Structure 1
Amino acid sequence: MKTSMTRRYAACALAAVTALGGCAAVQTTGSGSVGVERKQYMSGMVSEAALQQEAAQQYSSLINQARAQGALDVNAAQTARVRTIANKLIQQVGAFRPDARNWNWEVHVLNSKEVNAWCMPGGKMAVYAGLIDRIKPTDAELAAVIGHEMAHALREHAREQVSQQMVTNVGLSVLSAVTGVGATADLGSALTNVMFTLPNSRTHETEADRIGVELAARAGYDPRAAVTLWQKMGALGGSSAPPEFLSTHPSAASRSADLTEAAERVMPLYQAAGGR
């Protein structure tokens, strides 16, 4: 009996070590002018193609649900504005990763009072009407939001988080094999958790800020608008807690300082695009 249990532990430990060994350091994007150079660790259990396929399926389901509820692209002028800005930003993604030019990008406006926006792996985006109605962003400020969310996808932050979850689940599977208590999670539920439940890390948010600023500048939008945008975001909460959208973002002071520095760094790109 003891020998059997020992073999069981050994087999489970080997499986865990094998999965952990499958994590590789990668650079998902070029550093750009803003200098995003952190190495990321991705598990071999989570391929970029598989995650993008799952994202496309989930996005289709969400869009179909919004359409059925009469909450999809309700305001034609608002939708056209969002798509015009998004398309200009999409034209600049090659500065960070040329392959993203071939992604099947898509953006819709969801008729919700929530102040939110997101971009799934592979370029599936949504901007909530509440963000536009409550923030009342200029085009440059809206470009900062959309560019920020696009940056999460370009940088594959969701895949990075899902990789961490999957590796953790291997450890839980070891425990499950020993105790008989199930502990598994598939790719779909992991992606849903990352996109709509778990917050991004502050490191991810800072990277998305910087890349978003550069995308905006290259597209001809004043990168300094990112500073006023996040000031407006922070002011929404007043003396109470800020919107969930900002719950894990860097502090207002540190974010403002970092965005100001990034904006100054990409001003030549903005000026080359025709900005003043």
Structure 2
Amino acid sequence: MKKLLAIAAVTFVATGCASSTRPGAVGVTRQQTLWVSSEKVDKIAADSYLQMAVQAKMQGKLITQGPEYDRLKAIAMRVKAQANTFRDDADAWHWQFALINDPKINAACAPGGKIILYTGLPRTLHLTDDEVAVVLGHEVAHALREHGREKLSQAMLKNTAVQIASVAAPGAAGTVGLANQASQLLFTLPNSRQNEVEADQMGLELAARAGFDPRAAITLWQKMATASQGKAPPEFLSTHPSDASRIESLSALMPTVMPLYEAAHRR
């Protein structure tokens, strides 16, 4: 029985591996766990986005016009216009942009192209257009890379691992607990950080191709580091790598993305 369950688990894992995007100039090629269908995830994302937008509107927090809205949405649209660098179907996504008047230092882009930006991020950190583009590029990259879908698929794997352990050793609570912990260690934490690194890399390329100076990523994360000193980090940083390691990694990518930025200005 244990052998059969092990074979079933390996088969389950093997059938769900793929890469959701092309490598781009930054070369993101990791195989992902993608069992949950993109249609299901996109539907969940669209419903959640609508609910958040409606709630913000009812609270009088949804901004839909004015110079600030026009500026931030224009940056978002320039960044998303480069999404086909990594996947062709992104052009057909129903892209939406919501600006919410809230002091949160946060932003997001849900699967299917649902961008949310809280005013606390650009206002509190006094972000330039280039810095905003780096933030939005990072978030759009999460959507292109289907990190949300990947996280749901990983949760499925976690539940499956627990079920297999339960059948293989019925009544052995310790075994189930170990399987649960191992699943969290192997899939949740490492992939969370890895996903952030991928979004950094791809987002930097998106911003550069859109004609925004990728060197703004360095000043952006310096501002983020300052904002988190002596207090809980901004929500935007909750699962991200340390500021120092992030700045080092982004700096190493400049020789790759600066030519893309320069080419965008020659067009």
One-letter code aligned to 1:49: E
Return the offset for 1:269: 0.9
Q: Unpaired segments of 5 or more residues in structure 1?
A: 1-8, 180-197
Residue 214 of structure 1 contacts residue 263 of structure 1 at CA under 8 Å; is this kept in 2? no
Aligned to 2:230: 239
Residue 46 of structure 2 contacts residue 114 of structure 2 at CA under 8 Å; is this kept in 1? yes
Residue 19 of structure 1 contacts residue 167 of structure 1 at CA under 8 Å; is this kept in 2? no
Question: TM-score, normalising length from structure 1?
Answer: 0.81
Return the offset for 1:94: 0.9
Aligned to 2:252: 261
Counterparts of 2:162 and 2:47, CA distance in 1: 27
One-letter code aligned to 1:157: H
Counterparts of 1:57 and 1:70, CA distance in 2: 20
Q: Unpaired segments of 5 or more residues in structure 2?
A: 171-188
Q: How many residues align?
A: 247
Whether 2:22 is the aligned partner of 1:30: answer yes
Whether 2:129 is the aligned partner of 1:129: answer no
Return the offset for 1:21: 4.2
Whether 2:156 is the aligned partner of 1:166: answer yes
Whether 2:264 is the aligned partner of 1:273: answer yes
Counterparts of 2:238 and 2:110, CA distance in 1: 19
One-letter code aligned to 2:257: V
Question: TM-score, normalising length from structure 2?
Answer: 0.84
Return the offset for 1:157: 0.7
Return the offset for 1:58: 1.2
Q: 1:145 aligns with which of 135, 139, 142?
A: 135
Aligned to 1:59: 49
Counterparts of 1:261 and 1:235, CA distance in 2: 22
Cα RMSD after superposing both structures: 2.6
Residues 175/99 of structure 1: CA separation in 2 closer, same or farther (3 Å cut): same
One-letter code aligned to 2:79: L
Aligned to 1:76: 66
Counterparts of 1:31 and 1:64, CA distance in 2: 36
Q: State the identity %.
A: 45
Matched residue of 1:115: which SS? coil
Residue 208 of structure 2 contacts residue 261 of structure 2 at CA under 8 Å; is this kept in 1? yes
